[in-house]
Amino acid sequence: MIATLPPAIPLASVLGAALLLRQLDRRREGEGLPGAALVWISLLPLALVTAAPMSVGPARGALVAALAVALLARDRQDVGQSECALKLTWVFGAALALSWAGDSLLAIAAGTAVPAEQWNVLSLQLDPYGLWAGALALALLAGAVLLGGAPFHFWLADVFHGSRPHLAPLVVAAPQAAGAAWLAQRLAGIDGFPDGEAFAGGLLSLAAAVALVGGAATLATQRRPERRVGTLASLQGALVLAAYAADPGLTPFAEVRGGLAAWATHLALALTAAGALARFLSVESGADDPPVVLFRRHPASAALGAFALLSLAGAPFTPGMFLWLAVGRRLAATGHPGLLLAVALAWLVSFSVATGELRRAFGSPDGRPAPARGVPWPAHAAFAVCAACLAALAWSWWPR
């Protein structure tokens, strides 16, 4: 077996693709070198979070959320980004405040603020069930909200719809990675408290089922490609919830080389290319849409972007396939047939929507000449960079 892809390669690929996509933004004129440098200095820590999510504690998770909001709110003339920043402010702010209240209650009940030590104290059953159960539910809330699973999935679609193509992928992927790390650190050592593990498993099972079914239902009814990419990202967060529901004490995607960091890396890469691809797709109208310019004039670049979209949906022979299969196998091994069915339903809807989007984009031959207007070269380069890195991930994960 070959070694896991070094984290520096996907990190450089995501930042390089973001730099290329910025060249497509017509609103960047007049920004100046200081403004551009500030954006890139802010994107770097978000990219680092996706490369090493387990290094993000609760305090750093709050900083990641604040940095994402600040990036969107920076340009006050951009109505779409300002609206996204407002939504993220009250969603993230409320979730973090409630989770910190839950953490404080658990610390009071256990007499220690270290999660791994709290479970041994709570296992003595000196505190009433309602106290620690309610506190634990609140403590896990921020992780679920940052992951973006339904019913909190609206913010991901809004970010892809309303923000710029070089900002949206990392503004979405970094909080999701921080949310997964939040749950991992909050649930560390919970197997030493069987009652707490059972309660957390039931709570996460409910959250995962709602996230999977709600995300699939939303994806099936959406029409805008950008919002569909955001909802596919929310289903990636739902997979994390399902993996925790199967075994709250085990980090998700331990079956995949690289674990949770590999999932976050794949998420950032796939969202970068798929989000850029969505900018060239047309809104579904129900009629026979003509082929879009990218797919008509540059089918090779279109195929590279389609590879990232299909990977988000877990299509066969993509790196995303291994992530969906890892969660399904864990649910089957731990005896969660209901959640396994929900994962299968979400996968079918995701794959169907992604392939349908590509079928509409390629269109049907109509005898008309190819459009004279081409697609700027930075888009081709961004697709190539992300697709090459995703292919390398798939190769490193392929069993031998």
**What are the 10-residue block averages of pLDDT along the chain, 400 residues in total?**
68 91 68 67 91 88 93 86 94 96 93 88 87 94 95 94 93 96 93 93 96 96 94 97 94 89 95 94 68 76 94 95 96 95 97 92 62 75 95 87
Of the candidates 94, 81, 78, 42, the residue with the CA atom closest to the CA atom of residue 63: 42
pLDDT at 160: 96
Number of neighbouring beta carbons within 10 Å of residue 43 = 23
Tell which residue, 300, 294, 309, 314, has the closest CA to residue 357. Answer: 309
- Give pLDDT, residue 149: 93
N- to C-terminal Cα distance for the chain? 6
Give the tokens for residue 43: 């994107």
pLDDT at 1: 32
Cis peptide before 151 (omega within 30 of 0): yes
pTM of the model: 0.93
Answer whether 304's CB lies under 8 Å from 213's CB.
no
For helices 299-312 and 259-278, the axis angle rounded to 10 degrees is 140
Which residue intervals of 58-128 are DSSP H helices? 58-73, 79-110, 115-122
Tell me the per-residue pLDDT of 97-122, one tens digit each, with 9 for 90 and over: 999 999 999 999 998 888 888 998 99
Q: Can you read off the two tokens belonging to residue 243?
A: 């993996």
